[in-house]
Amino acid sequence: MDENCIFCRIVEGGLPADRVYENQHVLAFRDIHPVAPVHILVIPRQHLIGPSFLDEDAAFLMAEMFLAVKEIALKEGIDGTGYRLVMNQGVDGGQEIHHMHLHILGGRRLRWPPG
Q: Residue from 11, 17, 38, 65 that binds ligand AMP (CB under 6 A)?
A: 17
Could you give the CA distance from residue 19 to residue 6 in angstroms, rounded to a whole number?
A: 15
- Asked if residue 109 binds ligand AMP (CB under 6 A), the reply is no
- Asked if residue 96 binds ligand AMP (CB under 6 A), the reply is yes
Q: Residue from 45, 99, 101, 103 that binds Zn ion (CB under 5 A)?
A: 99
Q: Which does 8 bind (CB under 5 to 8 A by kind): ligand AMP, Zn ion, none?
A: Zn ion
Give the chain's largest Cα–Cα span. Answer: 39
DSSP state of 37: S
CB 82 within 8 Å of CB 46? no
Could you give the CA distance from residue 105 to residue 20 in angstroms, rounded to a whole number?
A: 14
Q: How far is CA 83 from the centre of its chain?
A: 13
Residue 67's closest CA among 37, 112, 24? 24
Catalytic residue numbers, as ranges: 101
Please choose, out of 26-34, 53-61, 65-73, 75-83, the segment that lies near ligand AMP by the rule CB under 6 A: 26-34
Q: Least Å distance between CB 4 and ligand AMP?
A: 13
- Asked if residue 49 binds ligand AMP (CB under 6 A), the reply is no
- Interface with ligand AMP (CB under 6 A): 6, 15, 17, 29, 31-33, 41, 88, 94-97
